[in-house]
Chain A
């Protein structure tokens, strides 16, 4: 039986919710800057597999929730998420064909764009932290990408 679009939407929101929870789970201090952006990676994965269900509005809302959970200026993560979602939508047909390593590289570029938006808006709102370690999630997210794909594929295999 093919799952309905409604069931898929619920699955997509649940996976983002898990990513958001993992974004605020306390980690040891040395590990905390490396924390990958799991919610964003989930959004990118769902856009690649089903761009019609996972749209820009979905990405934007997910980012807004992250803003609220982290107590950031409202709209910061939302802007980053919607930019990444837009770029992913544009490159979706090509990115699906990429071999895994190539795809992880593309994800790294997307994450870099995301963190640049956060860095830039941080600076504009007066929080400028310029240490090199704020870019670590770009690397950890790209390294994690094959795992995300494996997990997502396992999750949806039955429905294909």
Chain B
């Protein structure tokens, strides 16, 4: 008796034809893309699937975190001492500045109260660390280890110690995806600290450059100006540093100047960031015409 091996039936003629399966699955993919991108209809599905993905992401993150922990625990005494001295020095300096700022903040708040607008200042923060997981190399997004369970919401502002870092783009149960201000899809309303000029800074897909495409040649802006957040749009709190202008190129023939800025936040991996809660400022009449801080639908050309 010839024993048939499990693999001896003909390939053709078993199950649905290949072409039909392919068409069905391809159409299903396209339908998924449209539902996800155009209609934003897949919140529940995404939640389930990201719950399935979380163990994988956590497993990838774990060895890196363990290594950090080990190197930290076995750090030698002299290094710790050095670090301690440096931190003490920095704290002293920061306290000195704080004394000045406390008075300034009081004054500012009084002035704002007079204008009946004291909101827009961060009132609660949550420290999150960036997970050691690579997303798409050409998008500036990171995964942080706090999610819906800790009350993180979509569109929440994310800061680091040096300035504005980005905003939450997707919330999952245990994690959240943050889009950095340098992502080509991101735009943030800013104001020059020196001249008060308001404009929009969009990401250039480059971690140390933002581009300011809507600055006319006559505008009062020069290299070295600090750009701060305006609070317009209600996504970011007002008055936090965003970037420093590095280059202003004016050509007489053009309407707009070529302006580049360097983000003040350190947009790298392996850092801790702050998720911020604040009461959005009541819209001022002067702000009404300015665009919101939503990520731009189209990348700037």
Contacts and interface: CB of A to CB of B under 8 A. Distances in A.
Interface string A66-97: 00111111111011001101100110000000
Contacts of A25: 60, 133-134
B64 A5 contact: no
A62 to B, nearest CB: 12
B138 interface: yes
B86 interface: no
A65 B136 contact: no
B137 A24 contact: no
Contacts, number: 132
A35 B137 CA distance: 9
A5 B6 contact: yes
A24 B170 contact: no
Determine the interface band of chain A, counting residues with CB < 8 A from chain B.
35 or more
A79 B29 contact: yes
Interface of A: prevailing SS: helix
B270 to A, nearest CB: 9
B177 A71 contact: yes
A100 interface: no
B33 A86 contact: no
Contacts of B132: 26
B298 to A, nearest CB: 6
Interface of A: 2, 4-5, 17, 20-21, 23-27, 32-33, 35, 50-52, 55-57, 60, 63-65, 68-76, 78-79, 82-83, 85-86, 89-90, 121, 124-129, 131, 134
Ranked 3 nearest A-B pairs via Cβ: A75-B32, A79-B29, A75-B29
25 contacts: A20-B56, A26-B269, A27-B134, A32-B137, A55-B15, A56-B21, A56-B22, A57-B21, A63-B29, A64-B49, A65-B53, A68-B49, A71-B135, A73-B36, A74-B42, A75-B36, A76-B29, A78-B25, A79-B30, A79-B33, A82-B25, A86-B22, A121-B33, A126-B185, A129-B184
